[in-house]
Structure 1
Amino acid sequence: MAARVPELPSEVSRRIGPFDRFAGFAGRLTSRAVFFAFCVVLILVWAPSILLIRDVDTWQLIINTATTIITFLLVALLQNSSSRSDLAVQHKLNALAQGLGDLMEHLNDPDASERDLLRDRDELRKAVGLERFEGSDAAD
């Protein structure tokens, strides 16, 4: 049985799982100049190691293995971050569309209470910051 997808910002869980927190941290870290500098240093350390290793095949295998592992892990983390971002944007758009529809309906309804209008306005405001609270387990 699939979990109910939250429709309003107030229904979105504020819990973010450990993997999502780690993926977010890794995404922020790898998008900085420090990580790029680390990669450059890795190449600069590896390149002259041919003098110690002497076997070209082993020397190439070392860098190929290292870069393949790093790439594989970063692709998994990037996919997690991308999926969470896409889901958050979709929830935000759904909440905004529904909130605007409700607000327009209440504005055209002479019997609408002030409390209903305030509730709709608050839901729209919450939708603006919705992506902060999205985790990959939110749609599970």
Structure 2
Amino acid sequence: MSGNDAHPQHPIMPSEAGTPSIFDRFATAVGDHVSQAWFFCLCVLIVVVWAPTLTLTDLDTWQLIINTLTTIITFLLVALLQNTQKRSDAAMQQKLNAIADGLADLMGALHSDERPLARDRRELLAAVGLENHESSD
């Protein structure tokens, strides 16, 4: 095995993550804005301003307009927020894997021939999906 193959399943460290794409940055920015109180107040204001327009159109058209707008906005926001949540979950998993990997390496360095610690190390590696991890020592 070459020197570069020491960690074939080495978890990606949070500091090793690449630059997010334009879409990822956009989704994060939108998620940051729509999760604030002012955005909710803006939505309430839109509904309050829209409500009196019933007098300008018939009921069916009035309902169709708000239903169409809310459906479109909801669809787009769900897609953006799902992207943000997926990346957040992946980042959290990477951090947990890095912690577990470091702990497993520490346990490996300390365990020598102590059976309970060796068993605990194997259980930790198996629990986080790092069963085939090869230590660099």
Question: What is the TM-score when the length of structure 2 is the normalising length?
Answer: 0.69
Identify which of 51, 56, 64 aligns with 1:52: 56
In structure 1, what is the equivalent of residue 42 of structure 2? 38
* Aligned equivalents of 1:48, 1:93: Cα separation in 2: 52
Q: Which runs of 5+ in 1 are unaligned?
A: 110-140
Q: Which has the larger radius of gyration?
A: 2
Over residues 45-99 of structure 1, what are the superposed CA-to-partner deviations in whole Å (9 max), with x where a residue is unaligned? 110001122x111110110011001100111011111111111111111111111
Structure 1 residue 18 corresponds to structure 2 residue 26:
no
SS in structure 1 at match of 2:56: helix
* Distance of aligned partners of 1:5 and 1:102 in 2 relative to their CA distance in 1, 3 Å threshold: closer
Which consecutive aligned stretches of 4+ in structure 1 deviate over 3 angstroms post-superposition?
Answer: none
State percent identity of aligned pairs. Answer: 54
Q: Which runs of 5+ in 2 are unaligned?
A: 1-7, 113-137
Structure 1 residue 85 corresponds to structure 2 residue 108:
no
Q: Is the 8 A contact 1:6 1:12 kept in 2?
A: no
* Distance of aligned partners of 1:36 and 1:6 in 2 relative to their CA distance in 1, 3 Å threshold: farther
* Alpha-carbon distance, 1:12 to partner: 2.5
* Distance of aligned partners of 1:15 and 1:37 in 2 relative to their CA distance in 1, 3 Å threshold: same
* Aligned equivalents of 2:63, 2:69: Cα separation in 1: 10
Q: Tell which has more relative contact order, 1 or 2 (C-alpha 8 A, sep 6+).
A: 1
SS in structure 2 at match of 1:37: helix
In structure 2, what is the equivalent of residue 95 of structure 1? 98
Count of aligned residue pairs for this structure pair? 105
* Alpha-carbon distance, 1:102 to partner: 1.1
Which structure has more helix as a fraction of its residues?
Answer: 1
Over residues 11-67 of structure 1, what are the superposed CA-to-partner deviations in whole Å (9 max), with x where a residue is unaligned? 7223111111111111110010110011001101110001122x1111101100110
Identify which of 74, 79, 83 aligns with 1:76: 79
* Aligned equivalents of 1:37, 1:69: Cα separation in 2: 19
